[in-house]
Amino acid sequence: MWLLIVLLGLTIVAGDDGLNSTIDDQLISHSPFYGLIATASASESVSTSCGRDLAKMAVAIVNRNRWIIKMVDASGMPKGGLHWGGTFWLGSRRQCEATQSYTNVAISPLGPRTIETIQDLPPFPTAYFVAYFQHHSDIQIITHTPDEFRMTLGLCLPKSCEEAELTVLLQKYFDSKMFAHQNLYNTSFQMEEVKKLVDDYSWLWELNTITMGIIIIGAVIMCITATILDVKYYRPMVESRKPYIVISKDANGHTKNGKNHAQIDEGLGFKIIKCFSVCETNKIIFNKKPRQNSISIIHGIKFFSMLSIILGHSITSFKAFYDNQVKMFHLSDNFWAQIVTVLQFSVDTFFCISGYLLASSFFQAEYNKSKTKKHNVLERAKLFGVIVLKRFLRLTPSYMITLGVTTVIFKWRYRATPFWNNERNDLTCPKYWWRNILYINNLSPQNEMCMSWSWYLSNDMQYFVITSFLLILSTMCFKTAASLMTVIFFGSISYTVYSVHEANFIPFLDEFFTNMETFYGNPIVRIGAYLIGVYAAYLVYHLKKTLPLSIRSIRLIWFAVFLLNMCILFGITDRDVSLAYSAAYTGLSRILWAVGISWALIICETRNGGVFTKIFGAKCWYPLSRLTYMAYLLNSVVLYLIMTISDYAYHIEVSNILFMGPALMVLSFAASYIFTILFESPSIALNKILFDYLKTSKETNTDNPNDSKSGKMPYEIVAKT
């Protein structure tokens, strides 16, 4: 009844022009913006600052003032596409902000078409608001993604309005059933909240922001200082070295004289500073000289696998930003789209490589010793502790820096973006960061995970610890260690098959989203690929890096591996498959993929790779491979920035993916390069100094006690020629 009174009043204000009154009726039924104003005019809120400003807007709309039309134009309006998940009526935040300034922009030599005056500006400051509410229409296809029924409405309104006040007014408008969209789709709307997108920059003065700012600025200063010292001081000293007279003592204590080029004693302080030198870091990153006993193809495999992961993240990670989510599932059912299935197996490629490298280095370093030396439990326990500690110090500093940066960026962008995102790292990271540093965050529910994409690091660290223990155990009780590893391997397969039957799981994209915690990041499900890498490394060690096969046999195996991987990629192209087939595919597909990767590693390490080695072992992949760790940590942060900077929802299409994917790859590796220079490379170099110092101290304690007490080297530079 009250709404009819408002309409009558607005009609009287508009005069006897029947056209004006008809437009008012249509706006109320088709525009939440005008419906909100009409609701406010009929309520008691006119006594507030917001109510008075909304009343001015009601009069301005009847009078068709230019400034109110611009505010209407900047606000969201209903549109089609709800069936495929089109739940965004955003309008434009930037256009709303522009209503407070003249838009006399010359877009041609003739100048602006209209000249705005003070009368064309709103009589009050404006702000962009975002209203979130749930709809209950059954026309939208259910995808089982989080919050798929949340509608997002952008409104350009007076800045004086408060979120709680607007929430009540919008709910009253929706309850009146005057909104035509509700009748069209036979739905009701339930308000959740309204957010004012006005950044007061309070997040800049919070402790974590200040801390990260100090760390980043400190790292930049250290890099600049270290680079200057390296270029201006250390390098000229090295280039201008002159012969020295060296007085040294032999093993019997006799003095010997000789000439030698003196090595510059850098000192511990300068060594630490040099860790931050950009020149030194670039030398490491762009070094194309392969290490001894290294496998060159790993660089190419790592790089291309990381590109696949980044592309996969660009498609699936931030589904909340898509205005046609169903299109993603529709595309995934296409036969040729099954090639994209390789994206999920790229993670298993990294697991397989990690297992192979760990086992291969261990066999080379420890197995030869174990043949001539008996190991006691205490010695093996110390070795286990050192191995795990080195791994922890290698990964954690860069990881924690990225976690801090992620927290600040998500906190900043949440205040500025209209998009509702369940990935609230600004809330979860300050609360649950300790799970990340302990590498157990993959055991938490999805909504409690900080940096949800870091589940891989936790899985990898857990596999590393388990496998390291088993490898060390194998030097004392080989059969026991091998048996335990086999039990874990087949236990993983059995658990996966059982889980498929329990969940009636068919490995399609929508089913993966529904069962993400069970079948994607679960460490029990993914460990098989890691162990395949360990088995492959043992096979290479046992064969002494030789392959007793003819060229014909090798080619036949290559062909069989290719067919195997093609069967994995196109193994599920029809939803009408039996549960038994689904269980077999889900339980074995990742393991069989790792078998293919392991064959490539074996064939190349035994020097039978041929063309494969030339392609994936090309030296151009070396620098890019060294950036993959930081690229993995940062690519989702970069993607979030890209998504939230936009005024509009992302529309997923093949053409958009082809442009978005490569752009994200380039930006991710660019960010990785910066963070590698500032954080990762210095932390690795500092770790090396630490362990070298501990090793030197241990060796010094076993040398001549007189030398160790004096703290001098066995030789001393005393004169310059």
Indicate whether 649 pLDDT > 50.
Answer: yes
Task: Decide which of 720 and 290 is more confident.
Answer: 290
Q: What's the pLDDT band for 443 if we cut at 50, 70, 90?
A: very high
* Encoded tokens for 713: 């080297």
Task: Of 419, 402, 538, give the one whose Cα is nearest residue 457.
Answer: 402
Indicate whether 392 pLDDT > 70.
Answer: yes
Contact 320, 146 (CB under 8 A): yes
Contact 122, 72 (CB under 8 A): no
Q: What's the pLDDT band for 719 if we cut at 50, 70, 90?
A: very low
- Is 548 exposed, middle or buried (CB count within 10 Å of its CB: 0-12, 13-18, 19+)? exposed
Task: Of 335, 350, 333, give the one whose Cα is nearest residue 566.
Answer: 335
Q: How far apart are CA 71 and CA 55, in angstroms?
A: 14
Mean pLDDT of 72-91: 90
Per the listing, tokens 């101290």 go with 697
Distances (CA, A) of 151 to 89, 208, 435, 640: 8, 32, 33, 20
Mean pLDDT of 197-204: 84
Mean pLDDT of 399-419: 93
Distances (CA, A) of 44 to 5, 31, 39: 14, 22, 10
CA angle 33–39–41, rounded 5-degree value: 105
| pLDDT in the model for residue 43 | 72
Indicate whether 706 pLDDT > 60.
Answer: no
Buried b (16+ CB within 10 A) or exposed e, 472-506: bbbbeeeeebeebbeebbeebbebbbebbeeeebb
Contact 82, 139 (CB under 8 A): yes
Contact 613, 558 (CB under 8 A): no
Q: How far apart are CA 413 and CA 30, in angstroms?
A: 31
Handedness of CA 422, 425, 426, 432 (dihedral sign): positive
Contact 398, 413 (CB under 8 A): no
List pLDDT tens digits, range 98-118. 898 876 655 566 555 667 778
Residue 372, SS3? helix
Per the listing, tokens 């155990």 go with 473
Rounded to the nearest 10 degrees, what angle do helices 579-605 and 342-362 cross at? 50
Q: How far apart are CA 278 and CA 649, in angstroms?
A: 39
Question: Which residues on adjacent β-strands are paired with residue 189?
Answer: 135
Indicate whether 202 pLDDT > 50.
Answer: yes
Half-sphere exposure in the Cβ direction for 277 (13 Å, CA)? 20
Distances (CA, A) of 622 to 289, 355, 600: 9, 20, 18
| pLDDT in the model for residue 10 | 42
Percent helix, percent strand, percent coil in the chain, to nearest 5? 65, 5, 25
Best mean pLDDT range from 1-15, 254-268, 616-630? 616-630
Spatial neighbors of 394 by CB under 8 A, at least 6 apart, are 683, 684, 687
